[in-house]
Amino acid sequence: MMKAINKIKISLALVAAVAMFSCNKDIVTYDKIKKESETSTAAPVITQITLVDRATVLTQADLSQLVMIQGTNLSGIKSIKFNDVEADLTQAYVKAKEIVVPVPRELPGTVTDKVTVTTQLGEASASLKINVPALVVKGLFNEFALPGDTTTITGDNFDIYKITKEDAKVTFGGTEAMVLSGDQKTLTIVVPKTIPAAEAVVSLVTPEIPAGLKMNYRHLGQIVNIQNKLWAGEGWQTSGANLGDPKALNGTFSHIKGVSIGQWGWYDNLYGCNFPIADPDILNHLDQYDLKFELNTEKDHPLSQMFIKFSMRFSITYEWNLYNSGESLNTYGNWQTITLDAKTVMGQLYPNNDNFFYFAINPGVPINLDFSISSVRLVKKEVIVK
C-alpha cells in the first residue's frame, strides 16, 4: 500500500513540474541569453551612448573611457570606430542590444565626432565628441645632466603623441641621443657622450610632431651667485670632491649637510649677495622669467614638512609650502631641475648690485639636512609646446 502511495506522489510531482514549465514559456536560460546576445537579424541601430550605468547619456567622452553603445542588432560585430580610430574588439563586451568598449587611446587622423559600428549586416553611426588631451612637455628633469648621463623629458600624454622609445628622435645640438624607454609622462634618454658640456638646444621629433619641439640644455641665463660664508661662518661650497658629495654638474655648488634644525627652527645660510642685474628686460619684465636651480637631496633626507621662505632685502617675498600641502622634495640622490616663477618668488629686482637674496628653511618637525643646490639662475620662460 505504501509503495502505491509513493508512486502516486511522484506522478503528481512530475505532472506539476511539466505543467509549470509548459505555462512559463519565457523562462530564461544561459543558452537563451547567449543566443540572444550573439544573434542580429538586421542592420545595426544605435539609440544612445551612455556611461556603463546605462542611464547617463554621453555627448562626449575621453580617451580610454568606458562607454556603452545601446541599440539593436549590435552583435556580429566587425569593427567599432571612434572618429577614424578602430577600437580593440578584444576589449569589447558585445550583445545584441549593447556594447561596452573603451575609447581607443590614440589620436584620430580625421575627426568626424562620430561612433560607427559595423556588423555583418550593416553599419550605424551616432554623434560623440572625443576629447583629446593636450600634449604637456615640461622639459628636462635635469637640464644640466652631463654628457653620457641619463635624464628624462617630463610631461604628460606622451604615448598619444608618439613620444615613445620606438617613435621619438631626440638630438642635442644636432647629435642624436639614445632613447631608453618611455611612458605616458616620461621619455628616458642618454645625453650623447660626444657633445661638450655646454649650452645646446634639444630637439624632439615624432610622427605626430614632425615640426619638432625645442627645449634648452645647460642654459645659464642670469646667474645668482650663492654664498655660504656670512654671519654663521659656514662654508658649504664644494667642487664635488668631498666625501658624500654628489657629482658636480657645473663647477662649484653648495652641499648643506650635518645641520640639525628643531621644530619651527630657522636656517637661512643660502644667500645670493649683491648680485648684479644689468639686463633691462629682466628688470622690467621679471614676470617673463623663471628662477631655476638644480637640487639633489639624499634619499633619507627629503625636504618635506617645512616652509622654504624666499626673501629679498630681508623681506619675505614667497613661502613655498612643503608642510601641510603634502608636497615633498626627494630626488633620491639625483640632480633635478627646480623651476619657480621668478616674479612670484623674488617680487622685484634692482639695477646694478642692489639685490640681496636668500632662502630659509623653516621646518614643522625636527630635521637633519643633507641636500645640494647648483646653478641658481634667472632664465626666460620656455614655451616648449605652442
Q: What is the mean pLDDT of the chain?
A: 88
Question: Above 90 in pLDDT, residue 139?
Answer: yes
Q: How far apart are CA 376 and CA 290, in angstroms?
A: 11
Q: What is residue 232's predicted lDDT score, i.e. its pLDDT?
A: 52
The tens digit of pLDDT for each residue in 350-365 reads 887 788 888 899 999 9
Average pLDDT over residues 287-306: 95
Q: Which three cell numbers stand for residue 336?
A: 633635478
H or E, element range at 225: none
| DSSP string over 116-172 | EEEETTEEEEEE-EEEPPPPEEEEESSTTPPTT-EEEEEEE-TTTTT-STTT-EEEE
- How many other C-beta atoms are found inside a 10 Å radius of the C-beta of residue 219? 17
CATH no. of 222-380: 2.60.120
Q: Which three cell numbers stand for residue 254?
A: 653648495
**Torsion over CA: 214, 219, 221, 227 (sign):** positive
The tens digit of pLDDT for each residue in 71-116 reads 999 999 999 999 999 999 999 999 999 999 999 999 999 999 999 9
The tens digit of pLDDT for each residue in 247-274 reads 999 998 999 999 999 999 999 888 877 7
Which amino acid, 230?
Answer: L
The tens digit of pLDDT for each residue in 310-362 reads 998 889 999 999 988 778 899 999 999 999 999 999 999 988 778 888 889 99
Within this chain, domains 136-217 and 222-380 share the same CATH topology:
no
Give the 3-state secondary structure percentages of the chain, helix then strand then coil, rounded to 5.
10, 45, 45
pTM: 0.82
Write down the architecture of domain 136-217 according to CATH: Sandwich (2.60)
Which band of pLDDT confidence, cut at 50, 70 and 90, is reported for residue 302? very high
Q: For the chain, what are the domain ranges?
A: 35-131, 136-217, 222-380
Question: Above 90 in pLDDT, residue 217?
Answer: yes
Torsion angle of C-alpha atoms 256, 257, 260, 263, degrees rounded to 10: 50
What percentage of the chain carries pLDDT values higher than 70?
Answer: 88
The tens digit of pLDDT for each residue in 222-252 reads 988 776 554 554 578 899 999 999 999 999 8
CATH topology of domain 35-131: Immunoglobulin-like (2.60.40)
Secondary structure of residue 177 in the 3-state scheme: coil
Q: What is residue 273's predicted lDDT score, i.e. its pLDDT?
A: 76
H or E, element range at 21: helix 2-23
